[in-house]
Structure 1
């Protein structure tokens, strides 16, 4: 019997050794042979005759746009006078656009702008470039190195609210269109420019109305490009090159109102549990029981695979073999807030209100939870999870607001629109890698889902880890060089759309 056991153990160890050797061989082979998803189109050069320089006139227009305080405070509450000024400023600043017989301009929802640039080939489906007129309010103004609505130029950067969210894309696309039209060029494919006026409060009076107008016209849009993820420098571990992230989806959201009502009274005679205590326990359960880690089920895995060949060896091995290492990567991602947001539905306690007096037991406690829903989850799944975790009928849970995750747009080498965007990006940022991702924040493109199944979110400027806090924060800024790239990006994008999408490239040897 002992001999039989030894034989069994020997065979088992040999099988394990063979299996481990096989797994190791697969890992090594995949690491060495993993395909590259990158392209190398001809780069945009300053010496090209169709290069758009950030000269004094263009910079002056941009800084003037920053000086307009088009702030959105909450839904339906903004700065209408400033929006009217901005609209007038745009009309006066781009005479070639507004004087062109090919261009139709509509004011939509009182303040939003919708431009239609007529293409020469009516058989081609139009596309749309989107941005927004409004900005978020300014906090901690004393900490700004330049006044937040000054557009001040300082050490090669333009400072001000809206420089990267998102007047850079609005003004950059208009500069590109004006440059194109001034060269006597009519695009082959009809182009829309859509500028909502309340994106920062979810676009209910801007983008939503734009969508309704286009729907009434019977338009179906080939693809939509809106603000979104940037060119990250140092944002992705294991990659020394800049990485341009194209948002092919975005998280959904759900805002929950939690309320507990119990008998109040004098603090000298407390009951075993109070409304505040009951709600505090519910909140503690939610924070201590995060939603499942979903890394590897969605675009976040493709994000790593698309840059795997350019990673340092340890990261390349992991990213080339997510079939094996996904659980490890998922665990690592869960350790930091920035990466944890890519891996799961997040839970944030944003408000907690209770109590009226130091010696009075509050009969009511109210809290607000903000969930950002992973693209592979749903509003229903999140609610079911929360109720199961709380497991207390005394906690009344109501949905204040919600939106499901965005549909995932086509991406990769089988998607001509994605590849056209990738090659346009690499013309402007020739050293950058391009990869799909999803946005952890939300945009007003949710109102455009009925118009197109290909919605992309990308902002053509460089962001470093130290810049993350500038978005909606203090000292928002964009470099002059990046604003120049913004203008040239949109110009190349419009010109690239003159070609069949299978061609995808704009070479500077081609004449307009």
Structure 2
């Protein structure tokens, strides 16, 4: 066997071992539940207990702390050569949304492999959201430790245990770091990915890096009135009034706006566009009204980029089929655009619904996150790591539509970025929080390389 063949064989063996460790952790059903009493904490204990066995160097050379009520939120410290420098934080969460085997092509916690070569797929809940990133980070650190790498400055690894529900694990870790006077130079959490086919006229893959997050607010719409027997209903029941409020809200969307981040994203992509939209994208600032119109019509994702969105996710009425409801309630999930506020959002809802009999209240209100720098050394570190692993991709800032634990770290860092280093097709993105979640094996292995690049720059 030639030296080249030996290197290739060794690399393949390491990849196989890494993949098996990943599959081991995917098989542990660390499902977060809003009803905390229904959570299987034994699964979380099993996950935490498995890590020292799977990553012995990490646990021999890094300091590990357990936080949270049950010690499931994990914080690792990798001491650098210069302890006085500002550290880097790499984040992920290892809890997943619940799943049953119903409707899955492969059981969600079996971690089955299909396909061959570069087309191999790994099927499991958590492959994309977000054990894939958590395990890739651990693989990167384990590999660098084996190579004798010591970062210039401290590196922290923060692994949340309840991002999908309350985010208390990450908040607790932030408070611990704040109490110690730790102010990270850069924080990287899950978020954007390497995508294609979202923006017309762009043929290259796009690496979208979240520099902020929309605010998340749960709004409850409530109608209360006299109940009674369903055989003698009034002209307007509580449910009718509530339904009218919902349709009014749906008919009056929030105005579209282009933030500075939106404009920078369009300008960045415009330089690589082809066709008639190139002229529009490269003149973004002068053609903002046209761009707003274009974004609201390209699709659901682009429409959500430029406006606050509302989605009615839960409805409650009577407890019996033949009884009029005394209380009718709708829960609205609101994602507040950067540049807006909770107060402005509630004002729009009241004007749109325009019914004093409908009570509108914010149950859980969170403002949009501050915007992290889109130039300078921290942005360059992220963009350079992307370029090293995905040389054809266009790195661009964007506003993250979902929510991450990273938003809590804005309290202690000015540079919080949201990027998951995996290629995700539209179909694969559609499996997030849905059935048949899966990841390409080659995609996941490239994710490990991305984190290695990030850590070498620390």
Partners of 1:357 and 1:85 lie apart in 2 by: 42
Partners of 1:468 and 1:449 lie apart in 2 by: 26
Question: Could you tell me which residue of structure 1 aligns to residue 149 of structure 2?
Answer: 185
Question: Could you tell me which residue of structure 2 aligns to residue 55 of structure 1?
Answer: 15
Work out whether residues 409 and 455 of structure 1, in 8 Å CA contact, stay in contact via their aligned partners in 2.
yes
Bigger CA radius of gyration: 1
2:333 matched to 1:370?
A: yes
2:67 matched to 1:104?
A: no
**Structure 2: any 5+ residue segments left out of the alignment?**
1-5
2:358 matched to 1:395?
A: yes
Work out whether residues 235 and 464 of structure 1, in 8 Å CA contact, stay in contact via their aligned partners in 2.
no
Residue 75 of structure 1 and its aligned partner are, at CA, apart by 5.8
Partners of 1:307 and 1:395 lie apart in 2 by: 44
Work out whether residues 52 and 488 of structure 1, in 8 Å CA contact, stay in contact via their aligned partners in 2.
no
Q: Secondary structure at the match of 1:88?
A: helix
Q: Secondary structure at the match of 1:279?
A: helix
**Higher mean Cα deviation, 437-446 or 76-85?**
76-85
Trace 1:13-412 onto structure 2 (pairs within 5 A): 55-74=15-34, 76-77=36-37, 78-100=39-61, 103-109=62-68, 110-139=71-100, 141-155=101-115, 156-204=120-168, 206-294=169-257, 296-335=258-297, 336-412=299-375
Partners of 1:359 and 1:474 lie apart in 2 by: 36
Give structure 1 regions of 4+ aligned residues with deviation exceeding 4 angstroms.
Answer: 46-54, 356-359
Post-superposition Cα deviations, 1:98-145, rounded to whole Å, max 9, x if no partner, equal: 122xx2111111111100000101231111000012111115x34322
Trace 1:461-472 onto structure 2 (pairs within 5 A): 461-472=422-433
Q: Are the structure 2 counterparts of residues 228 and 461 from structure 1 closer, same or farther at C-alpha, using a change threshold of 3 Å?
A: same
**Structure 1: any 5+ residue segments left out of the alignment?**
1-45, 498-512
Partners of 2:147 and 2:280 lie apart in 1 by: 49
Residue 477 of structure 1 and its aligned partner are, at CA, apart by 1.1
Q: Secondary structure at the match of 2:36?
A: coil
Work out whether residues 54 and 484 of structure 1, in 8 Å CA contact, stay in contact via their aligned partners in 2.
no
Q: Secondary structure at the match of 2:51?
A: helix
Q: Secondary structure at the match of 1:55?
A: helix
**Higher mean Cα deviation, 354-363 or 365-374?**
354-363
Q: Secondary structure at the match of 2:89?
A: strand
Q: Are the structure 2 counterparts of residues 52 and 298 from structure 1 closer, same or farther at C-alpha, using a change threshold of 3 Å?
A: farther
Q: What is the TM-score normalised by the length of structure 1?
A: 0.83
Q: Are the structure 2 counterparts of residues 338 and 254 from structure 1 closer, same or farther at C-alpha, using a change threshold of 3 Å?
A: same
Residue 323 of structure 1 and its aligned partner are, at CA, apart by 2.3
Q: Are the structure 2 counterparts of residues 269 and 474 from structure 1 closer, same or farther at C-alpha, using a change threshold of 3 Å?
A: closer
Work out whether residues 52 and 484 of structure 1, in 8 Å CA contact, stay in contact via their aligned partners in 2.
no
Partners of 2:158 and 2:77 lie apart in 1 by: 9
Question: Could you tell me which residue of structure 2 aligns to residue 416 of structure 1?
Answer: 377
Q: What is the TM-score normalised by the length of structure 2?
A: 0.93
Residue 265 of structure 1 and its aligned partner are, at CA, apart by 3.1
Question: Could you tell me which residue of structure 1 aligns to residue 395 of structure 2?
Answer: 434
Q: Secondary structure at the match of 2:133?
A: helix
The number of residues matched between the two structures is 445
Q: Are the structure 2 counterparts of residues 98 and 364 from structure 1 closer, same or farther at C-alpha, using a change threshold of 3 Å?
A: closer
Work out whether residues 251 and 372 of structure 1, in 8 Å CA contact, stay in contact via their aligned partners in 2.
yes
Residue 301 of structure 1 and its aligned partner are, at CA, apart by 2.3
